[in-house]
Amino acid sequence: MAFEYAPAPESRSVVEIASSYGLFIDGEFREASDGKVFKSVSPSSEEVLSEVAQASAEDVDAAVKAARKAFEKWSTLPGSERAKYLFRIARIIQERSRELAVLETLDNGKPIRETRDADLPLVAAHFFYYAGWADKLSYAGFGPNPRPLGVAGQVIPWNFPLLMLAWKIAPALAAGNTVVLKPAETTPLSALFFADICRQAGLPKGVVNILTGDGSTGAALVAHEGIDKVAFTGSTAVGKQIARTVAGTDKKLTLELGGKGANIVFDDAPIDQAVEGIVNGIFFNQGQVCCAGSRLLVQESIQDELLDALKRRMSTLRVGDPLDKNTDIGAINSAEQLARITALADSGEAEGAERWAPACELPSHGYWFAPTLFTGVTQAHRIAREEIFGPVLSVLTFRTPAEAVAKANNSQYGLSAGIWTEKGSRMLAVADKLRAGVVWANTFNKFDPTSPFGGYKESGFGREGGRHGLEAYLAPSSPEGERK
Ligand code: NAD
Ligand code: MN
């Protein structure tokens, strides 16, 4: 018999959400120039959390000008001084982590267990890590006195709102750039709380500017001639559009786009650990993860044993209230995303794959999708090729390592992959042949600020994290450009 769980809700009262928020420009909150606003809802209940400003092209211009003005001083501060601000921000994030975790869970729909134990610790770790680089840029391997690029325009998605903000802002600031960042329209709140943290840390005005808004705000930002660098994380379609906008300008560009990661399980893998890794790979954050292990490649001889164990494990996943500390799978971020997942899953059935999901009761309000797996999937099926960005696993089989590699690489994407085997030699040999930016062995979805992350092919280009992540925000020193 399964254990019964008592409800264990985290308290909402640790966070105070205002009924409306403005744009954060030059250290102050202000309304949009044309007064436009939009609402952010909690995807688990459809409750309106707050109303935020929709930044216009005029607001984008004001934010870029504020960032340009702030750049003069910020870029000439000694690195050790910039580091102090970044360390201060990191410590404030730690101090306010419970509040931020609850906020992120409310606005995004992801379980508190993840915001508390994954998102927030990683956000703080990122700022700590890049704070440590700020006074060591000359030793980062990019020449003796690397220079910042100027003003960075940064556009981020809704799946890890605060973590993607950290990935963008921490290296930019450490390298001496100033930023204008646009969070996604369904998850604007944690970026606005971050603006408050910048004020709390005494960060000079204009170094960080936050513009809330939809795709039109993002498009105006990346097209603005006053920015020197564009950093984008999101869909491949929008990434391509941005690449076209930036082409022919001097702007530097990094794109972190979609993925269709292969999680490869060999016949000598420890089954129970592999099952945990598969579950973590595809059901972490409701599968709304660019590097999700969304294609399971299992060696044919262990298929039955592995799938039995996986189904047993999936039957114990708890879907429901994201604020409950026992919840494994929370809400899908938006009605639009739920519709995309539903349509792709339906195409799997229509194309002949076999669908399975454990019996689970979904809440009556909000956006929900049960953890699902498809067997009998071929490489031609849409569910094997397209990014679903939801809790849906496509299972394929292979017989030899060479076939596993060929199938894993048979994708327009190249972001992540996983290998499960007992043999170190096989891990290395297979990893070497996989065209993926990150390859995990006997683990999955492990993140660390010291480790670079990024893709091949249509997963984008450029790396975030680690020493490599600084490169996107630095230019080699000019001959006369002496900088400490
Ligand atoms: P999206 O690419 O439309 O949105 C990402 C960000 O880009 C948001 O902040 C959005 O406002 C902004 N944006 C939209 N149009 C823009 C434009 N023309 N110029 C500049 N910025 C623009 O993603 P989505 O519609 O929310 O999701 C669609 C699909 O994208 C998902 O199903 C998933 O497959 C993929 N996705 C991938 C990631 C990732 O981490 N790689 C994140 C989110 C979504
Ligand atoms: Mn929201």
Q: How far is CA 433 from the centre of its chain?
A: 26
If asked whether residues 289 and 247 sit together in one domain, one would say no
If asked whether residues 292 and 368 sit together in one domain, one would say yes
Instruction: Find the residues whose C-beta lies inside 6 A of ligand 1.
Output: 155-159, 182, 184-185, 214-215, 218-219, 222, 233-235, 238, 241-242, 256-258, 290, 337, 340, 387, 389
In this prediction, residue 86 carries a pLDDT of 98
If asked whether residues 273 and 247 sit together in one domain, one would say no
pLDDT at 2 over 70: no
The amino acid sitting at 386 is E
CATH label of the domain that carries residue 215: 3.40.605.10
If asked whether residues 238 and 319 sit together in one domain, one would say no
Pocket test for ligand 1, best of 235, 256, 285, 382 (most atoms within 8 A of CB): 235
In this prediction, residue 477 carries a pLDDT of 79
Residue 16, classified by CB atoms within 10 Å of its CB into exposed (0-12), middle (13-18) or buried (19+), is exposed
Residues in the chain: 484
In this prediction, residue 75 carries a pLDDT of 98
CA of 157 to the centre of ligand 1 (A): 6
Question: Which is the closest atom of ligand 1 to the Cα of 221?
Answer: 20
Residue 327 lies in a domain: yes
CATH label of the domain that carries residue 423: 3.40.309.10
pLDDT at 474 over 50: yes
CA of 374 to the centre of ligand 1 (A): 26
pLDDT at 467 over 60: yes
* Domain of 232, in residue numbers: 12-257+459-475
Nearest CA to ligand 1 atom 32: 389
Domain count, the chain: 2
DSSP of 351-407: TTPEEE----PPPSSS-----EEEES--TTSHHHHS---SSEEEEEEESSHHHHHHH
Kindly report, residue by residue over 401-435, the tens digit of the pLDDT: 999 999 999 999 999 999 999 999 999 999 999 99
CA of 309 to the centre of ligand 1 (A): 35
Q: Which residue has the tokens 């080699």?
A: 476
CA of 333 to the centre of ligand 2 (A): 7
Question: The tokens of 359 are what?
Answer: 């019996």
Contact 430, 222 (CB under 8 A): no
If asked whether residues 251 and 332 sit together in one domain, one would say no
Residue 5 lies in a domain: no
If asked whether residues 103 and 245 sit together in one domain, one would say yes
pLDDT at 165 over 60: yes
Average pLDDT over all residues of the chain: 97
Contact 377, 395 (CB under 8 A): yes
CA-CA distance, 52 to 477, in Å (whole number)?
40
Residue 7 lies in a domain: no
Residue 47 lies in a domain: yes
- Catalytic residue, from 10, 104, 185, 256: name it: 256
Active site residue 290: yes
pLDDT at 114 over 90: yes
CA of 337 to the centre of ligand 1 (A): 11
- Which is nearest to 401 in space by CA: 369, 423, 374, 368? 423
If asked whether residues 228 and 276 sit together in one domain, one would say no
If asked whether residues 165 and 68 sit together in one domain, one would say yes
Active site residue 31: no
Residue 482 lies in a domain: no
CA-CA distance, 435 to 414, in Å (whole number)?
6
Kindly report, residue by residue over 182-235, the tens digit of the pLDDT: 999 999 999 999 999 999 999 999 999 999 999 999 999 999 999 999 999 999
Q: Tell me the average pLDDT across 146-175.
A: 98
Strand locations in 10-62 (E): 20-21, 23-25, 28-30, 37-42, 47-53
If asked whether residues 227 and 287 sit together in one domain, one would say no
Nearest CA to ligand 1 atom 43: 234
If asked whether residues 244 and 101 sit together in one domain, one would say yes
- Catalytic residue, from 10, 104, 185, 290: name it: 290
